[in-house]
């Protein structure tokens, strides 16, 4: 993860703003936690992976206090409880980043109804219910920004993980309908669609020399893309600088699609 550089933008509107990020303990989520902390936001994040999350809180303790809550996002009651705790401790959420996901590979012939439902619960369902829980407080506070992390996986399209690809396409549909539902409350809803981002998980599980060569052959930019680069786009969409941008999907993939 890159540390903050003065060569990147500062957003005064994000200072002291309550930001909630799901899946913030690692990967792109952790990069967003760090970048929002550098902006002076009041950052909370939810994750089921406790040790990595607590390590992140410790790492960033000199920058800003963070609120981490262990949460099983597939358990909607647990999600609602955690979001109420965030509001009680920090105030109404003004920026919600729905990020948590899992791109586990799976073969078409081996997908059961139970596995399909579990993949939807991990990759799509909690996005809706996090929005539902955040909206009352966000509306009462005068509005806010919701950023849903999708993927270019459904645009390429990817193969070998059909449930994940379906969920990521569904996130774009959810984004569009929520933008229309919530616009009258001054709540903006946008999606961010990363390409091949070199996270530690990707490096550990999928980033072989062969895969890297394929990625670089398809991208316009001939280098690996980092979580921080995704995080900086999310900062802009969260800040007042993007105050009339809603109902949009932003691809950030080095020119793959």
CB burial of 140-171 (b: ≥16 within 10 Å; e: otherwise) equals: ebebbbbbbbbbbbbbeebeebbbbbbbbbbb
- CA pair distance 60, 73, nearest whole angstrom: 24
Is 164 part of the annotated catalytic residue set?
Answer: yes
Q: What are phi and psi of 8, to 5 degrees?
A: -105, 160
Long-range contacts of 171-174 (CB under 8 A, 24+ apart): 171/98, 171/124, 171/127, 172/148, 172/249, 174/124, 174/127, 174/128, 174/131, 174/148
Q: Which of 127, 164, 211, 250 is catalytic?
A: 164
Q: Which two tokens stand for residue 132?
A: 């539902």
| Catalytically annotated residues | 164
């Amino acid at each position: 993860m890159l540390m903050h550089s003065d060569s990147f933008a500062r957003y005064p509107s994000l200072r002291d703003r309550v930001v909630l990020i799901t899946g913030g303990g690692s990967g792109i989520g952790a990069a967003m936690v760090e970048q929002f902390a550098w902006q002076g936001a009041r950052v909370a994040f939810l994750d089921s992976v406790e040790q990595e999350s607590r390590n992140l809180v410790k790492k960033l303790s000199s920058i800003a206090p963070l609120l981490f809550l262990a949460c099983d996002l597939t358990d909607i009651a647990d999600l609602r409880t955690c979001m109420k705790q965030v509001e009680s401790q920090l105030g109404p959420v003004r920026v919600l980043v729905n990020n948590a996901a899992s791109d586990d590979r799976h073969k078409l012939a081996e997908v059961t109804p139970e596995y399909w439902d579990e993949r939807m619960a991990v990759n799509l369902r909690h996005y809706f219910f996090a929005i539902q829980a955040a909206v009352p407080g966000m509306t009462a506070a005068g509005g806010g920004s919701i950023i849903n992390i999708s993927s270019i996986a459904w645009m390429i399209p990817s193969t070998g993980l059909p449930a994940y690809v379906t969920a990521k396409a569904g996130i774009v549909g959810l984004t569009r309908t929520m933008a229309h539902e919530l616009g009258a409350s001054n709540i903006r809803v946008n999606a961010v669609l990363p390409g091949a981002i070199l996270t530690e998980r990707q490096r550990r599980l999928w980033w072989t020399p062969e895969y890297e060569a394929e990625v670089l052959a398809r991208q316009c930019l001939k280098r690996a893309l980092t979580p921080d680069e995704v995080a900086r786009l999310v900062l802009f969409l969260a800040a007042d600088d993007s105050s009339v941008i809603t109902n949009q999907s932003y691809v950030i993939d080095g020119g793959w699609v």
